[in-house]
Amino acid sequence: MKQYASFEKYLEDKYYNDIHRAITGLIFKRGRNNGFYSYTVLDPSYFQVEDIHIKTVSFHSTDGSRIIFNAAVEADVILKGMGKRDYDADIKSPWYTVSFTGYLSDGLNMVTITDVDDYFADKFDKNTTLSKYLIPYLYSEDLEKEAEKFLYKYCRQALNEPMPIPLDELMFNMGLVLYEAPLPDNIFGKTYFAESTVDIFNEEYEVVKQTVEPGTILLNPNIFFMRNIGSRNNTVVHECVHWDRHDKFFEMQKLLNSDLTSLTCGITEQRGLKNNGIEGALQWMEWQANALTPRILLPANTTRKKLKEILLRLHIENSERSDSDIMEEAIEELADFFAVSKFAAKLRAIELGFSQAQGVWNYLNGTYLPSFSFKATALNKDESYIIDIRNACYEANFDISFKANLEKGDFIYVDYMYCINDEKYVEKSADGKCTLTSYARQHVDECCIKFKQKFKIAKTQGDAYYTQCSLCRDIDASSYCECTYIEDEDNQDVVQRAIELKKLKKEGERITGILRSLPMSFSGTLDAHMKRLKKEDGTKMTNLELALRTGLSDRYIQDLRKEEKNVSYETVCAICIGLHLHPKFSNDLIKKSRNDYPLTEEGYFGQFLIEHHYMETLDLCNEKLREMGYKTWGKDL
């Protein structure tokens, strides 16, 4: 059987005479009104179509197997008539649009030329226009609508109430038959568009020969769709999508190459991404099936309704549990209900607006990561707190802004996230490894850096992600996720929080060090503070200076530094304010004087002044005490 490199070649070979006659008829009908302008033949009276050349063909779909296609045809037309030297001849190459209808089913049948006219550019209609390989166009914004159209056509009840897709009913409505078969390890499914004899498993799981009809799907029982990403249901629905949307593609390929019988969907580890030619068409079909399958298995409205119902119930039953734990269980329950993988359920939840699902069931380097949560508005599209080791190393070495923050020690790479290096967020696990604290896991947006994700194709890097839908051929593919640091307000807030925490940590260490070095006695502690503190001008703190600040005599202050004396609560508070002691130091000094804040409103107010107004003068503090009707501290100045 003759094979053709393109449909244009096929059409020209099979329908040359019909097209020739149609164009000739139009030219003869128009006569001198054809609009042929020639410097040689001034008044053409004879026309002959010498040859025709089909340049391009555009396609439109209709219901069933009927197609409409328009061929752009260049015609070599010989003109004869009166010219400058009596009777003369010339040749012109006008273009025409020849319109056809036909039925593409086990060949191209009942082909009819419906119109011939001067060439015009075919109008693009995203609802009916087909690619040159007869693949329908599909845009991201139309995915939900197309999935609903599929379900409305084959499984209408799934649009009205939450339910797992009944695969047997779906395949019956589509006229499909399913067999499990011993397919190669890199093939997860195979759809037959023509009769063929194949190996399948019988009920005893023995391999037997079987003649299968068009509309037969073979399923590899040992391989899930996209490996650990999908499930058996994904594979079946994936093949159903091919049968529904891509039957004309196969019929076209069978028309050009009659030996083809099936469409094979296989798993590949590497491939180069092609945009043109048959390989690009295969990838385009595979993208459509991959994109529509989860939207069919998990319809938008019913999935959203079911997940809200699950989350509400779990929150009521487990009010003490963290949001991330509840979301983790909800995704697992959603996956079980719709009979899909947890990963598919998680991705669908994120698509439907449940952004916090990004914090659960994260699988990296062969293990599931602990769940985490964050504000619902924290992440935008294609953003993530998780960054794999390869990307983490790259960002740490080559992103100048992020590298500067890391070199300060403000962040630590822990649990595949860059987190603020503070004990509030990071702790040691039982095996001595660093891990996020429980608080950090519930507030990742507060302490972790987010990154922009971008999937790229590489020849030598990354995990296998894409699948290949091919006519029994392999195309190598490899995909990896590239993560980049984001210079946005959220990350800047986290960086600033890290800087502030670092300052607080240093201040805490300083205060703790001073407290540990202080004597156990009141006099010794007061003396130690006097020796280490300085006045505003940088000179040493003196008894006289403290006396001026508190109204106490310098002699009395000197005695307090040398020996233990009974000292009143008000006097100690005056000394604390006069020295502007940190609240930790003030509370320590008050206790060592064998005093404490009275368990009264006056005592609580005094503690408030010591802890929140210690940098003010004693006069200002006493003014506040008077306003409240309480006893003042020290002596009036």
pLDDT digits (tens, 9 = 90+) for 359-375: 998 877 777 888 999 99
Residues 6+ apart with CB under 8 A from 83: 38, 40, 41, 42, 43, 90
Mean pLDDT of 121-149: 92
Q: pLDDT class for 381, splitting at 50, 70, 90?
A: confident
Nearest partner of 208 among 189, 180, 187, 177, judged by Cα: 180
290 torsion bin: left (phi>0), alpha (psi -120 to 50), beta (else) = alpha
| pLDDT higher than 60, residue 358 | yes
What is the per-residue pLDDT for 469? 32
Torsional sign, CA 502, 504, 510, 516: negative
Burial of 322 from C-beta contacts in 10 A (0-12 / 13-18 / 19+): middle
Q: What is the pLDDT of residue 459?
A: 37
The contacts found for 121-124 with CB under 8 angstroms, 24 or more apart, are 122/58, 122/70, 122/97
Helix (H, G, I), strand (E, B) or coil at 599: coil
Q: Which amino acid is at 215?
A: G
Burial track 205-235 (b if 16+ CB lie within 10 A, e otherwise): eeeeebebebebbbbbeebbbbeebbbbbbb
Element (H, E) at 9: helix 7-14
Say what the pLDDT of residue 55 is.
95
Query: 456 versus 170: which is more confidently predicted?
Result: 170
Structure tokens at 206: 């023995």
Percent of the chain scoring above 90 in pLDDT? 49
Cβ contacts of residue 358 below 8 Å, gap of 6+? 346, 350, 379, 384
Q: What is the pLDDT of residues 1-47, one digit of tens each?
A: 688 889 999 999 999 999 999 999 999 999 888 888 888 888 888 88
In angstroms, the CA 89 to CA 92 distance is 10
Q: Is there a contact between 409 and 499 (Cβ–Cβ < 8 Å)?
A: no
Residue 465 has a pLDDT of 32
Query: What's the farthest any 2 CA atoms get from each other in the chain?
Result: 139
Between the CA atoms of 57, 60, 62 and 68, what dihedral angle is there, to the nearest 10 degrees? Answer: -30
Euclidean distance between CA atoms 180 and 303, whole angstroms: 29
Confidence of residue 259 (pLDDT cuts 50, 70, 90): low
In angstroms, rounded to a whole number, what is the distance separating the alpha carbons of residues 163 and 298? 9
| pLDDT higher at 269 or 166 | 166
Instruction: For residue 479, give the 3-state DSSP assignment.
Output: strand
Residue 475: pLDDT band (50, 70, 90) is very low
Cβ-based neighbours of 410, under 8 Å, separated by 6 or more: 420, 421, 495, 498, 499, 502
pLDDT digits (tens, 9 = 90+) for 542-562: 999 999 999 999 999 999 999
Q: Tokens standing for 119?
A: 């060439």
> What sign for the dihedral angle of Cα 39, 44, 50, 55?
positive
Please name the amino acid found at residue 359.
Answer: G
pLDDT in tens, 306-322: 999 999 999 999 888 88
Q: What is the mean pLDDT of residues 426-433?
A: 85
Q: Name residue, tokens 């959220």.
A: 490
Confidence of residue 159 (pLDDT cuts 50, 70, 90): very high
Confirm if 230 and 341 have CB atoms less than 8 A apart. yes
DSSP tally for the chain: helices H, then strands E: 22, 22
Q: In the prediction, which pLDDT does 260 show?
A: 63
The amino acid that residue 150 corresponds to is F
List Cβ neighbours of 524 (8 Å cut-off, separation of 6 or more). 518
Q: What is the dihedral of CA 350, 354, 356, 360, to 10 degrees?
A: -60
Mean pLDDT, residues 442-456 taken together: 83
Q: Which residue is listed with tokens 């009777």? A: 87
586-617 per-position pLDDT tens digit: 999 999 999 999 999 999 899 989 988 888 89
Nearest to 62 by CA among 122, 99, 102, 97: 102
**Residue 592 is inside which H or E element, if any?**
helix 583-592
Percentage of the chain with pLDDT > 70? 88
pLDDT band at 165 (very low <50, low <70, confident <90, very high): very high
What's the whole-model pTM score?
0.69
Residue the block writes with tokens 């206790």: 591
Distance (Å, whole) CA 80 – CA 87 = 7
Q: Which residues contact 494 (CB under 8 A, 6 or more apart)?
A: 420, 446, 447, 448, 449
Q: Please state, in angstroms and rounded to a whole number, the distance separating the CA atoms of residues 547 and 123.
A: 94
Phi-psi region of 518 (alpha: psi -120 to 50; beta: other; left: phi over 0): beta
The residues, any chain, with a CB within 8 Å of residue 550's CB and separated by 6 or more, are 557, 574, 575, 577, 578, 618, 633, 634, 635
pLDDT of 51 above 70:
yes
Instruction: Please write the tens of the pLDDT for every residue from 317-346.
Output: 988 888 999 999 999 999 999 999 888 899
69, 36 contact by CB (below 8 A): no
Residues 356, 375: Cα–Cα separation, whole Å? 8
